[in-house]
Chains A and B, each alone.
Chain A
Amino acid sequence: MSTPSSGSSPARITSEVVAKVAKLSSLHLSDAELALMTSQLSGMLDHFADIDKLDLSNVEPLAQPFPLKNVFREDVVVAGLDRDEVLAAAPAAEDGRFRVPPSLGLGEQ
């Protein structure tokens, strides 16, 4: 895999990388969307290069405002969501389960 440019190249992100990210995101993008996305993301990444001038070598990352701790509860049975109510909101359901199209043997496999 290529590494990101250090800021000297004209485009920060290529349409090939954008197409790969679209695939990772499970988003079908049209050619026009891909071109627009490439130019918009490139513009944003140009702006976001402002933090490259900061010396962050001795800074600890902060992912959460406050330290997270695991939350336990007593191991007692409590009512869950009503299965029929949940399945009623699904695009397709069958025999008390979500129904999905086949994942093997068809299409782009």
Chain B
Amino acid sequence: MTKPFATVVDIAADIASGKTSAVEVLEQHLARITERESDIHAFNLVTTEQARATAQQVDADIKAGKPVGPLAGVPVALKDNMCTRGIETTCSSKILEGWKPPYDATVVTRLQQAGAVMVGKTNLDEFAMGSSTENSAFGPTKNPLDTSRVPGGSSGGSAAAVAAGFAAASLGSDTGGSIRQPASLCGLVGVKPTYGLVSRQGIVAFASSLDQVGPFTHTVADAALMMEVIGGHDPLDSTSLSQPMPSLTSVLGQGVKGMRIGRLADMPDGCEPEVLARMDAAYAALQAAGATIVDISLPSLSYCLTAYYLVAPAEASSNLARYDGVRYGLRVETGDLHSMYGATRAAGFGAEVKRRIMLGTYALSAGYFDAYYGKALKVRRLIANDFAAAYEKCDVILTPTSPTVAFPLGDKTSDPLTMYLCDIFTIPTNLAGHAAMSVPFGTGAYNMPVGVQVLAPALGEQTLFRVAAELERAS
């Protein structure tokens, strides 16, 4: 499949070799933003002036013969829940509107050190809670491939920015599918790394035991390069793994010969037939490349939705307690401290965030803890056990990323539960903390893209990327 825009790998090579300049590449991307951003709304903020200054610096360094990083001059976009020093970081929430963090997230620092040029902060479902980017306090993002449809979420702005050619790559965060599902709906590669492989320092916390940062790109090779830049141990994140970041760019050509690919024997209902047809094609392609297909089962799969929608809101209710009108963001002035808290939070949070804070607080409260949060943690153990048993029989598991292609705006906003059902295939791997990614694999209904999800055990990124590269070659 031909890609409509230049890749990260090509842009970096062409700038490093002097074939083009960082300024020229940036201006091409800014021109596309000028042309289409008013229709798409991928960004909460476009950082044009800072981007121009960074691109000029990259060009000056190259001209002076100084060594430059692997992403020198590559335009990237960041989900607006990643702290950028002195640059507004809102989480698409009124409660943080106008807040300028006093430090950079570790992933932001690593992108800067690699020479990337940040073009802006992208829209999201408020505090990353949603699957369509319709929960943003600043209005929804549209899918660049069909603007009557959602880009997915919660990292919908980051997906749309890459799909529309506003940036060559972007970063999102994935708590229950928030990178993989929008990648699938926008025809991109999206990676949810093993928990702890990429630093969470400076990422506004949603559910701390589930959140991970990862890239959106047009190609698997681009995703591998982005992962190598952002991944690896960070002493500032207490859950950061100590293992060195494995090389991913070097394994992409190794193929899948002899690999065992797990296929779900008990596929949940609700998948579009075109999505299932693409899955069959994906198994066939890997088989043709020398892999074996093995039927596996994850008996607890259907219970993951419940476990996730209790665990994630419980953690969120604790993490979001910090928005109290004291240290940053919005304050609604009232006579006394306690009513100021309640009034500020009532005015600052949107409906979905309030719902999840309430659900989480309820699940953790005295008298209900054992019945809800406690049980959810036990179901979390069951799915981890299911995966462990499955990975005895196979090296990776293939599922659809999303049961459907991108749906129309407004389609699922009236009933929160129907929106939650979008995440059925992506949630289990977050609960287990494993590696996963979505790879575009043709189109389904309405000619919209279908993503195949590849799941691997913890720190199985090399296997993951080998399978993804094979699927890309076959698509």
Contact = CB atoms under 8 A, between A and B. Distances in A.
A41 B328 contact: no
A27 B342 contact: yes
A41 B358 contact: yes
Interface string A15-55: 00110011011111100010001001101100110111010
B182 interface: no
Contacts of B152: none
B382 A59 contact: yes
A76 interface: no
Nearest to A89: B328
B64 to A, nearest CB: 30
Nearest to B341: A26
A26 B324 contact: yes
B194 to A, nearest CB: 8
Nearest to B384: A62
Contacts of A86: 102, 327
A37 B303 CA distance: 23
Interface string B292-323: 00000000001101110110000001000100
Contacts of B328: 89-91
Contact of B361 (A24, A61, A66, A103): A24
A56 B357 contact: no
A102 B336 CA distance: 5
A106 B334 CA distance: 10
Interface in B71-101: 99-101
Most B C-beta atoms less than 10 A away, residue of A25, A50, A61 = A25
A44 to B, nearest CB: 6
A61 B102 contact: no
Given A4-B371, A108-B338, A54 B379 contact: yes
B325 interface: yes
B257 interface: no
Given A27-B349, A89-B102, A108-B338, A101 B377 contact: no
B432 interface: yes
A8 interface: no
A56 B378 CA distance: 7
Nearest to A27: B345
B378 A50 contact: no
Main secondary structure of the interface of A (DSSP, over half): loop
A28 B342 contact: yes
B326 A89 contact: no
Interface string B333-362: 111111111110110010000110111011
A13 B329 CA distance: 33
B376 to A, nearest CB: 7
Contact of A65 (B307, B327, B458): B458
A66 B241 CA distance: 10
B102 A63 contact: no
A51 B341 CA distance: 35
B196 interface: yes
A109 B272 CA distance: 56
A1 B329 CA distance: 36
A25 to B, nearest CB: 5
Given A37-B355, A102-B337, A47 B306 contact: yes
Given A4-B372, A65-B431, 10 more contacts: A21-B358, A25-B345, A28-B343, A28-B346, A40-B416, A47-B305, A47-B417, A50-B303, A62-B384, A65-B433
Interface of B: 99-103, 195-196, 209, 235, 238-239, 241, 302-303, 305-307, 309-310, 317, 321, 324-331, 333-343, 345-346, 349, 354-355, 357-359, 361-362, 365-368, 371-372, 374-382, 384, 415-417, 431-434, 458
Interface of A: 1-4, 13, 17-18, 21-22, 24-29, 33, 37, 40-41, 43-44, 47-48, 50-52, 54, 56, 59-66, 68, 71, 73, 81-82, 85-86, 89-92, 98, 100-103, 106-109
